[in-house]
Amino acid sequence: MLLRNRIPSLLTALALVFGSALYLLYADYQRFLDTPLAGSAEGWVLDLKPGMGVGDIVRELQEQPGLSRPALYLETHIRLNGLASRLKAGEYAVTPRITPRGLIEQIAAGRVIQHALSVVEGWTFQQLRQALAAHPKIVQTLREASDAEIMTRLGRAGDHPEGRFFPDTYHFPTGTTDEAFLRRALAAMDRQLNDAWSRRAPNAPLDGPYQALILASIIEKETGLPEERPAVAGVFARRLQKGMLLQTDPTVIYGLGDAFDGNLRRKDLVADTPYNTYTRKGLPPTPIALPGAASLAAAVNPAPGNALYFVATGDGGHAFSATLAEHNQAVRRYQLKRKN
């Protein structure tokens, strides 16, 4: 009878002990999930490879600073919250104060590290290819491909690649291919060019968007001053309307290719190539560089005026003239200034 009376008390005591143990375990589990990870003050990078399962990811995490608790905690959190199928491969920035809970949420959301490559206004397509090939986080699939083969792979067979890719700073995760990068920059230029063409002035002397792209590339190489681009465009527009030669050095330099040694000589100006605007009227056959949005806008909306000439002043700008006599005088003045 005495033993029978003690059994409920014993069971109650065991239940209390078991409940307390569960509570302490749960509290430790929650504390682990919400305690910032230990590690370096700068943080670190967690690189999860494609094909990793929950167990692989947990083991990878266990090897990192500040995650010395049992793997069971991590795996339990992942499975209880239905995150197992959502964990994504990639590089993740583990900041000094992030918690295990926050890190798992970051992985499930696929918030991977974004790398960057800035495509500079005025670059040629070859310079863009070199930058892509040199970037350590871009997967190389086009290294041996010719320019024509690249355009075919991008769905633009027969198109010349020069000027077709929009200069901007692009962000992307590790593993992005050079083809995917170019496809994105190509689409960006298509949007920018179509938008600029839709806003063109009614008197712009251009037959279509591609001519606007060609002219914009010349403007891009002629001046680095945003405020000058419409004025430069105005000179070229009036020359085209009058049937005058454009006489722009950047096209000649582009036509020389690898033969250009940094010094443009008189013989270069009279040597005929498809890009020599001193010997051939109209626009060259293709763009000569990657134009930015400001040059595209200037090409289709040239500034009004009567200037037909301009010369570099030596300080990054240009002096504009309406007559050849005024231009020659400006050339002598600024040549003397440079000599002095």
Enumerate domains of the chain plus CATH numbers: 29-109 (3.30.1490.480), 115-192 (no CATH), 203-339 (no CATH)
Q: Indicate the pTM of the whole model.
A: 0.84
State pLDDT tens for residues 4-38: 556 666 666 666 766 777 778 788 888 888 888 76
State pLDDT tens for residues 293-322: 999 999 999 999 999 999 888 877 898 999
Residue from 180, 188, 94 nearest 137 by CA:
180
| pLDDT at 159 exceeding the cut of 60 | yes
- On average, the pLDDT of the chain sits at 89
For 213, other C-beta atoms within 10 Å of its C-beta total 26
pLDDT-derived band at 67, boundaries 50, 70, 90: low
Contact between 187 and 257 under an 8 Å Cβ cutoff? The reply is no
pLDDT-derived band at 184, boundaries 50, 70, 90: very high
Q: What is the sign of the dihedral through the CA atoms of 177, 182, 185 and 190?
A: negative
Ranges 53-67, 92-106, 234-248, 260-274: which has the least confidence: 53-67
The full DSSP string for 95-114 is: -TT--HHHHHHHHHHT-PPP
State pLDDT tens for residues 188-233: 999 999 999 999 999 889 999 999 999 999 999 999 888 999 999 9
Contact between 89 and 51 under an 8 Å Cβ cutoff? The reply is yes
